[in-house]
Amino acid sequence: MGDLSDDEDVPDLVEVDVKKVPITIITGYLGAGKTTLLNYVLTEQHGKKIAVILNEFGEGDSIEKSMSIGEKGELFEEWLELRNGCLCCSVKDNGVKAIEDLMTKRGKFDYILLETTGLADPGPIASMFWLDEELCSDIYLDGVITVVDSKYCQKNLDEKKPDGSLIEAARQIGLADVIIVNKTDLIQEQELRSLRENIRTCNGFAKMIETTRARTNIDDILDLHAYSGLGSDKLEKLFKDRGFNEEVKHQIDQTIRTVTIDTQGSMCKNYFENFLQNLLWEKNIKNCKNQVTEILRLKGILSFDSEDQCFVIQAVHQTYDFQATTTCGDRNRINRFVFIGRNLDKVILEENLQNCLVK
């Protein structure tokens, strides 16, 4: 930022206490228990004024959905009072602006929960709400919760699309910050164990919670700061806690995987951004079988040669962002990354990252 101290005409900036409102995206396959989770959160005592928004982005069953939440079959084009002073609405003109307008009309909420349709790809929705600080939005993305139907999840994951693209159920799991494995009452322990393992292989980093009727500790799902306040400490802890094994070097099956990579040294910011853009935008990073690497989510801590402090990198869908961290001093310029996606070739990703290091 330039130095403006000589300029007499620059007015003092007034500090305004604008408290941003967190938004949590609730996604999950058809009938997994998203609305059940919403209703549960709304009936719990949490002292928050929560707005519930039903996302109609992915056309289809929106009318049904609106009815399911109202219990009486009302359609919510407009706001409707729920228990605990919470409000509900369905946003047709889906988008940040629409929600901000509604807040202007109805006063601010403490929290926003957005239920996507079961067939939605949460990637674009998440990146839409994950706004740059500079955009001065009233809301920020807190995290993505994916509700999974224990009984049908495996079957959904095994499905294949004719064009070979990723099925939504898999995208939803790959993108999650919290995975609620719901309806555990419907399956045997053995089945649950194997589902648990399979989900872990797809997404090695999300918090996993097993529930019936989506009953869970509210603190485990709200106020996660999975996108904004994620400091390097928290990420480090995550790397330590999740000691999952991933011998897969060249991955050639079509499922989603989590791959972690460590490199040592200082990264050149330009090279690294170039790599990110190739990976996320140009999609020209491939695995050893020449299949395009698809990234659903990426997190990491890294050091740039131009900066003393470390940076946290976050990406979802095609959006990425760096945040400077304050805690870094003693670290030996270690860069650690977690990639969640498909056709992740650890060897190739490692090579690309090595090439970003300043020699």
34 binds Zn ion (CB under 5 A): yes
Task: In whole angstroms, give the CA distance from residue 347 to residue 11.
Answer: 53
Nearer to ligand GTP by Cβ, of 185 and 197: the residue is 185
Phi, psi for 87 (deg, rounded to 5): -125, 155
Smallest gap, in angstroms, from Cβ of residue 117 to ligand GTP? Answer: 7
40 binds ligand GTP (CB under 6 A): no
Task: In whole angstroms, give the CA distance from residue 176 to residue 299.
Answer: 12
- Picking from 323, 315, 341, 275, the residue whose alpha carbon sits closest to that of residue 126 is 315
Nearer to ligand GTP by Cβ, of 73 and 229: the residue is 73
Select the span of 182-190, 268-276, 283-291, 308-316 touching ligand GTP (CB under 6 A).
182-190
Select the span of 58-66, 197-205, 217-225, 274-282 touching Zn ion (CB under 5 A).
58-66
Interface residues for ligand GTP in 289-348 (CB under 6 A)?
Answer: none
Smallest gap, in angstroms, from Cβ of residue 185 to ligand GTP? Answer: 5
Nearer to Zn ion by Cβ, of 28 and 341: the residue is 28
3-class SS shares of the chain: helix, strand, coil, % to 5: 30, 25, 45
185 binds ligand GTP (CB under 6 A): yes
Task: In whole angstroms, give the CA distance from residue 282 to residue 116.
Answer: 27
32 binds ligand GTP (CB under 6 A): yes
Measured from the Cβ of residue 254, the count of other Cβ atoms closer than 10 Å reads 12
Q: Which of 21, 22, 27, 36 binds ligand GTP (CB under 6 A)?
A: 36
Q: Which does 259 bind (CB under 5 to 8 A by kind): Zn ion, ligand GTP, none?
A: none
Task: In whole angstroms, give the CA distance from residue 197 to residue 186.
Answer: 18
182 binds Zn ion (CB under 5 A): no
Task: In whole angstroms, give the CA distance from residue 318 to residue 291.
Answer: 18
The residues, any chain, with a CB within 8 Å of residue 213's CB and separated by 6 or more, are: 33, 36, 40, 182
Interface residues for ligand GTP in 192-231 (CB under 6 A)?
Answer: 212-214
What does the binding site for ligand GTP look like in residue numbers (CB under 6 A)? 28, 30-36, 65, 68, 118, 147, 182-183, 185-186, 212-214
